[in-house]
Structure 1
Amino acid sequence: MSTAPVRRSGLQQDVIALYRNCFRAARLKPEANRPHFHAFIRMEFRKHSEVKQRDFATIEYLLRTGKRRLKVYSAPSIEDVTI
């Protein structure tokens, strides 16, 4: 029995891509601090998990904000985050 592949909207794919990119950026941080980044990423995404799928404006806003924050936190000068 095979299951059909999950079809996701463009916004859903963008959110998943941002999530993955955050974890990829965390791999570049010092190994001792990676758990802090992982916890921070999960916390930030869960904080907004109540947003409705049809609230496109909010999702797009959060994606733009998340991409800007990823750019900031990806900088080599940022070595750790606190929750």
Structure 2
Amino acid sequence: MSPRSGLQREVLSLYRRALRMVRTKPPSTRAKFLLFVRYSFHRNATTISPRQVSVIEHLMRQGRKQIEMYEDPSVKDCWVSKEMKEWNERT
């Protein structure tokens, strides 16, 4: 296996941070947060080419801001779309 690039390591780091954020949420809403995180990363991983570095960097900045918002203890729930639920049932 070849070593990961710096950008790949940053994406994985952001994903792990998002998963840690999920564990801080109330047990009744963790499944929704987890689905939101998994779906968002999966959708971007399948629609964006690894060669689109500027797009990936933009999404990383956007993702960091979103995770910072969700890390706030006052955020207790998130919205999950019908598309996310259908994707979850297929996987």
CA RMSD of aligned residues (A): 1.0
SS at structure 2 position matched to 1:79: coil
SS at structure 1 position matched to 2:73: coil
Aligned residue type for 1:43: Y
Please list the CA deviations of residues 31-61 of structure 1 after superposition, one character each: whole Å capped at 9, or x if unmatched: 1111110000011112212211111100000
How many percent of aligned residue pairs carry the same amino acid? 35
Report the TM-score when normalising by structure 2: 0.82
Alpha-carbon separation, structure 1, partners of 2:78 and 2:2: 34
What is the CA-CA distance between 1:72 and the residue it aligns to?
0.4
Q: Which has the larger radius of gyration?
A: 1
State whether structure 2 residue 5 is matched by structure 1 residue 19: no
Aligned residue type for 2:8: Q
After superposing on structure 2, the runs of 4+ consecutive aligned residues of structure 1 that deviate more than 3 Å are none
Q: Quick one: which of 30, 53, 59 aligns to 1:62? A: 59
SS at structure 1 position matched to 2:29: helix
Equivalent residues, number: 79
Q: In proportion to residue count, which structure has more helix?
A: 2
| Counterpart position of 1:72 | 69
Report the TM-score when normalising by structure 1: 0.90
Alpha-carbon separation, structure 1, partners of 2:69 and 2:39: 17
Give structure 2 stretches of 5+ with no counterpart: 81-91
Alpha-carbon separation, structure 2, partners of 1:63 and 1:17: 10
Give structure 1 stretches of 5+ with no counterpart: none
Alpha-carbon separation, structure 2, partners of 1:31 and 1:66: 23
